[in-house]
């Protein structure tokens, strides 16, 4: 295990963060189709800075009986049955993402992965629904823990909309490319790394050893 990987394992209490974005045919994770998903794996350099590693991206065929809400499709511009999408079955996409995440998690010396997303409950809900629908037994992700960049952005840059948060952080954001799972995932990954690294630069991490020692001593039984 390299030093950078051990630092990543330490940073989030053994959690390995994976940035995910989904495009869907509605808001109900149980009934509406999952149409596109992207997942950005992360790494940590020798200076303890979080950086994007690589991104996996899949267009997905609607599952059997899935609801396709017309207004949602008009918003994201997806034609679920366009053969040029190169869509794959839901099982193939979820299997490939989980396989890559498990490897990255193991390489980083982490015990569990955690979804990072902008408005994380939405993306985590659709991912978990797909896992349940497929009766998938080996998801590397925690079932309910997530890191929400909406909340983190509100704290760090005073913005909650992804485009505005990226702009406040000095990250280029093209609104014409937004609402693509691939584009939004990569921008969210940059934003998450920016927030985590900025907190480090401000002295918020690693925790001062004096503070840690003080907290440890305060719990000792006299």
Active site residue 59: no
> Which residue among 57, 59, 118, 179 is the active-site one?
179
| Contact (CB, 8 A) for 59 and 35 | yes
Q: How far apart are CA 43 and CA 16, in angstroms?
A: 9
End-to-end CA distance of the chain: 39
| Contact (CB, 8 A) for 177 and 38 | no
* Cα 189 to Cα 57, 116, 171, 194, 201, distances in angstroms: 14, 8, 11, 8, 18
Q: How far apart are CA 200 and CA 5, in angstroms?
A: 17
Contact residues for 132 (Cβ-Cβ < 8 A; gap 6+): none
> Which active-site residues does the annotation give?
179
């Amino acid at each position: 295990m390299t030093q950078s990987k051990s630092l990543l394992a330490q940073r989030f209490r053994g959690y390995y963060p994976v940035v995910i974005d989904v495009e869907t045919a509605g808001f109900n994770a149980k009934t509406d189709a999952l149409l596109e998903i992207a997942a950005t794996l992360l790494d940590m350099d020798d200076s303890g800075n979080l950086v994007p590693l690589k991104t996996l991206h899949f267009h997905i065929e609607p599952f059997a009986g899935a609801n396709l809400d017309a207004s949602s499709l008009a918003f994201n511009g997806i034609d679920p049955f366009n053969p040029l999408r190169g869509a794959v079955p839901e099982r193939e996409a979820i299997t490939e993402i989980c396989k890559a995440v498990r490897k990255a998690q193991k390489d980083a010396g982490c015990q569990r992965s955690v979804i990072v997303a902008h408005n994380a409950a939405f993306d985590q809900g659709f991912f978990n629904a797909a896992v349940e629908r497929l009766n998938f037994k080996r998801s590397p992700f925690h079932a309910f823990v997530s890191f929400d960049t909406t909340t983190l952005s509100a704290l760090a840059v005073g913005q909650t909309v992804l485009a505005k948060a990226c702009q406040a952080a000095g990250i280029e954001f093209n609104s014409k490319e937004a609402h693509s799972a691939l584009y939004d995932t990569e921008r969210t990954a940059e934003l998450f790394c920016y927030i985590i690294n900025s907190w480090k630069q401000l002295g918020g991490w690693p925790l001062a050893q004096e503070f840690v020692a003080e907290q440890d001593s305060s719990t000792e039984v006299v």
